[in-house]
A and B are shown apart, each in its own frame.
Chain A
Amino acid sequence: MTVRISPRLVVVFLAACVVGAFGGLFGVGGGILFVPLLVLGFGFGQHRAQGTTLVALVPPTGLLAFVNYARAGQVDWRVGLLLMPGVFLGGIAGARLALRLAPRPMRVLFAALVFLAGLFEVYASWLR
């Protein structure tokens, strides 16, 4: 397939730079930000946004951020390694479940996760 560099792709790239900065700042991969970005900013359907976001997670996009944390000694290697197989297998099961859901409940479920994650961040930073 040929990948044409359309203006839309450039805008997606620039938006992803900003999102990536947030990812590095909070130690998240950025997926929770990419899905709303694609849905609200670029009119993607919910499932397509989720599938596309998973592409962004295949290359080690957090590598440079990770190097900074590793240098600072802020990595628990054992726990990180132990988490990997579960996340991989759980991911397959979760994706199968997602693709059985109709778009509306999928969207509501995703919004609920983002909402709870947001509330949690506020609670953990200011109210505790």
Chain B
Amino acid sequence: MTAGVVEVLLLGLAAGLLVGLMGVGGGIIVVPLLVHVLGFAQHLAQGTSLFLLLPPIGLGALREYWKTGDVDLPAGIACAAGALAGGYGGSLVALWLPARHLKALFGIFLVAAAILLLRQVLARPDATGDPEPGGESGS
């Protein structure tokens, strides 16, 4: 596996754009990129993605959201604690499981979530919907 330095740096930049834009962790973007652009095997891609996520690489993006007040700190901390506990169990299962069917189910789950998210905005075309960035005070 000898991916070019520039190639990998640019991949990181592209993944980072999506991290900040969508507020997601990067794994969902980095794993497919590693597998399909750099030709990684699935488990190696997942392990490398988890390695990448160890330092707070989303901190710069978080700072931007923080400036506009679009952060619920207690809820975020609760999510972090849950992810820590759940991630341990999930990774143990992942390493002995042939994840093919589970991954497909995960995909179906994501598609369903996307449809629910879309339906919510499309169902009320005239409503204001979500508050503007920075427009929501503490919950």
| Interface positions of A (Cβ within 8 A of B) | 1, 3-4, 6, 8-10, 12-40, 42, 44-66, 68-70, 72, 74-77, 79-80, 82-99, 101-104, 106-115, 117-126
**6 extra interface residue pairs, beta carbon distance < 8 Å, beyond A31-B26, A79-B1:** A15-B82, A27-B47, A66-B53, A77-B51, A87-B13, A102-B132
| Interface positions of B (Cβ within 8 A of A) | 1, 3, 5, 8-28, 30-32, 34-35, 38, 40, 43-66, 68, 70-95, 97, 99-104, 106-118, 120-121, 128-136, 139
Give the docked Cα–Cα distance between A17 and B52 (Å).
21
| Residues of A contacting B26 in the complex (Cβ-Cβ under 8 angstroms) | 29, 31, 57, 87
Known: A22-B86, A52-B75. A76 touches B44 (CB 8 A): yes
Contact A31 B50 (CB under 8 A): no
Q: How many A-B residue pairs have CB under 8 A?
A: 497
Nearest 5 interchain pairs by C-beta? A90-B16, A16-B82, A29-B25, A86-B12, A20-B86
Contact A21 B89 (CB under 8 A): yes
| Residues of B contacting A9 in the complex (Cβ-Cβ under 8 angstroms) | 74-75, 78
Contact B82 A19 (CB under 8 A): yes
